[in-house]
Structure 1
Amino acid sequence: MEPRGERDRPVRVGGIDYLNALPLIRYLREGGAPPLELSNHMPSVLAEKLRAGSLDVALVPVVEYLSRPEYRVVPGISISSYGEVRSIRFYHRRELRQLRHVGLDESSRTSAALTRVLFKDLWGGSPKLVHLPPRDALGALERDGRWAGGEDLDGVLVIGDAALRARASPSWEWLDLGTVWTRWTGLPLVYAFWVWRGGPAPVGLTRRFVEAKREGLARIDDIVRERAERLGEDPVAGRHYLYRTIQYDLDPAHIEGFTELVRRLEAHRILSGSPRTIADGAPLLQWLEESPSPPA
Structure 2
Amino acid sequence: MAVESENVEQLREWLAQGGPVRSACTAADVLADKLAVVVFESDAQWPERADQVDDYRDRLRDRFADDTTRAYHFVELTAPGADPDVFVDWFLRVVTEWEQTAPDGAGLGLPNPHTDGTPGTEYYRLDPVTQEYLYAPTADSHDWATYDRRRYAEPTHHHAYGLDYRYDRLDSVHQWYDETTATWQDQAWADEHAAREDAGPVPRWDHDWQMFHRVGRDGTHEFADAVTPGDRFSGCGDTWLTHAEVLERDAPEKPAAPAAETAAPSGEDSVRATVASVLRENRDLREGLTPEEVDAVIADLIRTTSSN
Range class of TM-score, shorter chain: under 0.3
Could you state the TM-score of these two structures normalised by the residue count of structure 2? 0.22
**Larger RCO (alpha carbons 8 Å, 6+ apart):** 1
Could you state the TM-score of these two structures normalised by the residue count of structure 1? 0.22
Larger radius of gyration: 2
